[in-house]
Amino acid sequence: MPDEDRQNLRETIIQIRGLLEDQRDLGIREVYPEHVPDDLPACPPGVQGLDQGGEASCRRETLEEIRAELENCRRCDLCKGRRNIVFGVGNPRAHLVFVGEAPGREEDEKGEPFVGEAGRLLDRIIFAMGMRREDVYICNVEKCRPPHNRDPLPEEIEACEPFLKRQLSAIRPQLIVSLGRFAAQCLLRDKAPMNRLRGHWREYEGTPLMPTYHPAFLLRNPASKREVWEDMKQVMKRLREHAS
């Protein structure tokens, strides 16, 4: 091996060792392999997939597999009035995931979250953040439309939220943004009003979460766009910190 390559290799090893030591000091005890063979079986929900020797025994399930399991889901009564299950769209490796409440009429018809006027406003917010809809992932807590757009009931949340958790563990985003009162209160198990929840970092399933207003609320209350932009600036700052 040429001397220059040998020197580069040595420096890389030193950098990796320093990184692992930093992680150990932070209390991180496991490092997950990036390239887990595709032919391993998908891990059951909640299973990390490393055996005692640190070898991968299973791989992360994919969004397609989770979607296939929902198929014609009848786990709660929301199945009765829906036209389509609205699973989610976007980048399966997104750094940022937006989570809303539940599909509305247009989303139910098209099978896609955040379409219509509120969806176009969300697209503009994402664009202002320097991204496109395809760069992020967008989904809802509930995958089927509640009748008359009422809030989902506790048993409906209980039936559907495990699929959101599985989506997030398949994507492993750096950050989550919850959109609107219901999504924030549901994910955070906190009944505080939106004007107290928004703008403050919280966590959902170990991932930092920023609650902000729903784009449909902004259409009715355009003055609150400024607050949403303040929240998104915090999100952009944290994404930049992750990238550096």
Build a one-symbol-per-residue string for 80-99: x at contacts with ligand SF4 by CB under 6 A, - elsewhere. -----x--------------
CA distance 36 to 59: 6
In the complex, the smallest distance separating the C-beta of residue 111 from ligand SF4, rounded to whole angstroms, is 12
Q: Report the 10 Å Cβ neighbour count for 203.
A: 11
Q: How far is the CB of 66 from ligand SF4 (least distance, A)?
A: 11
CB 176 within 8 A of CB 136: no
Which residue of 67, 75, 165, 202 would you call a contact of ligand SF4, by CB under 6 A? 75
Distances (CA, A) of 192 to 13, 185, 225, 239: 48, 7, 20, 26
Mask for 144-173, x = binds ligand SF4 (CB under 6 A): x-----------x--xx-------------
Stretch that binds ligand SF4, among 57-65, 73-81, 109-117, 196-204 (CB under 6 A): 73-81
Asked if 60 interacts with ligand SF4 (CB under 6 A), we say: no
Tokens describing residue 158: 């209980």
Q: Give residues 125-144 in contact with ligand SF4 (rule: CB under 6 A).
A: 142-144
**∠ CA 63-66-67, rounded to 5°:** 85
Q: Which amino acid is at 142?
A: E
CB of 146 to ligand SF4, least distance (A): 8
140 vs 130: CA distance, rounded Å: 22
Q: Could you give the C-alpha distances from 46 to 60, 139, 161, 183, 200, in angstroms and in order?
A: 10, 20, 13, 22, 27
* Nearer CB in complex with ligand SF4: 160/209: 160
Q: Looking at 42, 50, 58, 73, which residue binds ligand SF4 (CB under 6 A)?
A: 73
With contacts defined by CB under 6 A, how many residues of the chain interact with ligand SF4?
14
Nearest approach, Cβ of 163 to ligand SF4 (angstroms)?
A: 6
Q: Is 76 in the site for ligand SF4 (CB under 6 A)?
A: yes
Residue closer to ligand SF4, measured from CB, 129 or 160: 160
197 binds ligand SF4 (CB under 6 A): no
Q: Long-range contacts made by residues 47-56, C-beta under 8 angstroms, separation at least 24?
A: 54/30
Distance CA 158, CA 199 (A): 26
Binding residues (CB under 6 A) for ligand SF4: these are: 70, 73-76, 78-79, 85, 142-144, 156, 159-160
